[in-house]
A and B are shown apart, each in its own frame.
Chain A
């Protein structure tokens, strides 16, 4: 079967599945599912750049999603007057100033070998300066945080347009990617996985506990939308509008990525990925290129993440906790076909639809099992059977990853080998 026939067939099958869901569960549900799937598709496109193009194993996905979502909240959420009228901004400003001075001093000290300081002394002084900076900033931040939480609840936002928030989210995610990439990119794959995982954990821990910044477990809602909200237009219409926005984003990204991949730059990236040694011998700065890919990928991940969280209208740091979503997206990429943008989009849609559908299916299966078990053996099911049933989905994600890697490592829509005549 030729590739394009295969593509058409797979997409047709998917369309059929989606139509079936619309029929069974209604338009409002269906559009919501598609809009969320579209956001995931954007995130997956970012990941396929990192994995499919540059061969980087980013396990800290959700950290980038979280920080982009947080940035969006900060930028686009309505202004919290209580915060601006109190002492909060002043104290934060002071802390920021302390941080700036501390960092400047530390950096200067770290370069002090130029004025003749011996290396050991320089390291010691730098560490001391860093420690003092940390303690000083912490000393200022804690009372500021307590004050803000007491008086204003949290920092609030800047009240700027939503799309600006999304872009800002992408930029911050890209920035985090730059910082993380500088540290981890030279490492081999498993170390990079561990390191990215660790960073994501720290970001999440920070967002969950910094109540003054994010309201922590109290969550922030409702988040403003780029299109009229369901309250104004009704579920189907407003969600469709949202879907239209994300669909446009996907198309734009797809076009840009395809053009980049087919350009001489894309050729070089493939050369680096497929034959690193030769590429290095030709003088290509491999790590620099990989860093670029990592940052661009994270920008797109941030964009998608911001869109996703905005859609759910709630910013809840604890919801980023499970590892599930990280690997859900990974399954989308490797099942769909890493390095093939169309395949990734397909994979995202398919996997998300299955993920959403698996909840009622799992529930149905387990309640039936409970029913039959009781009738046949007098088995008394545990109370939390429902939550346990959902855990099956984690099992299925893991199983899918192992099976795909073993039997179809190139995914359903493998990367097309670019031929030059």
Chain B
């Protein structure tokens, strides 16, 4: 049974629908990647999943339980975690305080989780008392992901984790994402850097106009000439 099953999702921000029948399914421990042109509804799909906008039609089932339109506070308890694309840290709070906030819903001790995050992102350990807003873009992204890991999610939702990062940091972040996934966390991420993202995807979803366009393994999609012609090439890896 898939960990996540979104079926025929329709939704938007109030006026016209942005999503016109999107379906996403991934297994536990997989990396799923959503790509597509601007305005295709990639980020919107994540937001619909995490209860940040209203789903009109369609259903979301997580770990066998229906969670359509569930509030974010509850989804966190179900095992989902979300990293927005922008404003994804608490800028005046220190790195360690950001992580503590990530663990807010926990009632047990979580020191070991903080250490685990530092294990994934060593540069953060030295800067743990620094305000997150003062860090570089790449390090901020690390804090953002680290915060989301503090609830030990089954599935981590990442909205363009490498947006605006230099190529060096981009590579680093992708490496860490793979490491996190290997440690047992499912990943569903939206990415502009389609080639690099699909290269490490177990499942890939190409969206356009709020609908699914192509679905397959990352390798299959990269090899597909139609996909390459129509949709690949957005972002830094455009030749």
Do the two chains touch directly in the complex (Cβ atoms below 8 Å apart)? no
